[in-house]
Amino acid sequence: MNIALLGYGKMGKAIENIAIKRGHHIVLKVSRDTSDYVFDNIDVAIDFSLPSSAFENISNCIRNKIPVISGTTGWLEKYDDIVSLCKTHNGTFLYASNFSLGVNIFFEVNKTLAKLMTGLPQYKVSIEEIHHIQKLDAPSGTAISLANEIISQSDYKNWTLEPPKPKEIGILAKRIENVPGTHEINYESDVDCISIKHTAHSREGFALGAVIAAEWIHDKTGVYTMKDVLNIG
Ligand X SMILES: O=C(O)C1=N[C@H](C(=O)O)CCC1
Ligand Y SMILES: NC(=O)c1ccc[n+]([C@@H]2O[C@H](COP(=O)([O-])OP(=O)(O)OC[C@H]3O[C@@H](n4cnc5c(N)ncnc54)[C@H](O)[C@@H]3O)[C@@H](O)[C@H]2O)c1
227 is catalytic: no
Nearest residue relative to ligand Y (C-beta): 9
Please tell me whether 34 is known to bind a ligand. Answer: no
Q: Binding to ligand X by residue 97, rule CB under 6 A?
A: yes
Q: Which of positions 106-145 make contact with ligand Y (CB under 6 A)?
A: none
Q: Which of 29, 78, 111, 135 is catalytic?
A: 135
Distance separating alpha carbons of residues 173 and 170, to the nearest angstrom: 10
Please tell me whether 170 is known to bind a ligand. Answer: no
Contact partners, residue 80, CB within 8 Å, separation at least 6: none
**How far from each other are the two terminal CA atoms of the chain, in whole angstroms?**
28
Q: Which is nearer to ligand X, 42 or 94 (CB)?
A: 94
Q: Binding to ligand X by residue 73, rule CB under 6 A?
A: yes
The angle subtended at Cα 160 by Cα 125 and Cα 153, nearest 5°, is: 45
Q: Binding to ligand Y by residue 60, rule CB under 6 A?
A: no
Contact at 8 Å (CB) between 72 and 136? no
Helix then strand then coil, in percent of the chain rounded to 5, is: 35, 25, 40
Q: Which of positions 98-127 make contact with ligand X (CB under 6 A)?
A: 98
Write b or e for each residue in 109-142: b if 16 or more Cβ atoms lie within 10 A of its Cβ, otherwise e: ebbebbeebeeeeeebbbbbbbbeeebebbbbbb
Q: Which is nearer to ligand X, 106 or 224 (CB)?
A: 106
Contact at 8 Å (CB) between 198 and 103? yes
Q: Binding to ligand Y by residue 227, rule CB under 6 A?
A: no
135 is catalytic: yes
6 contact, one of ligand X, ligand Y, none, CB 5-8 Å limit per kind? ligand Y
Q: Which is nearer to ligand X, 30 or 207 (CB)?
A: 207
Q: Binding to ligand Y by residue 96, rule CB under 6 A?
A: yes
Q: Which of positions 37-56 make contact with ligand Y (CB under 6 A)?
A: 48-51, 53
Closest CA to 171 of 151, 180, 162, 114: 162
29 contact, one of ligand X, ligand Y, none, CB 5-8 Å limit per kind? none
Please tell me whether 72 is known to bind a ligand. Answer: yes
Contact at 8 Å (CB) between 91 and 85? yes
Active-site residues, by number, are 131, 135
Query: Which residues are near ligand Y by CB under 6 A?
Result: 6-12, 30-33, 48-51, 53, 57, 71-74, 96-99, 206
Query: Which residues are near ligand X by CB under 6 A?
Result: 73, 97-98, 131, 135, 140-142, 181
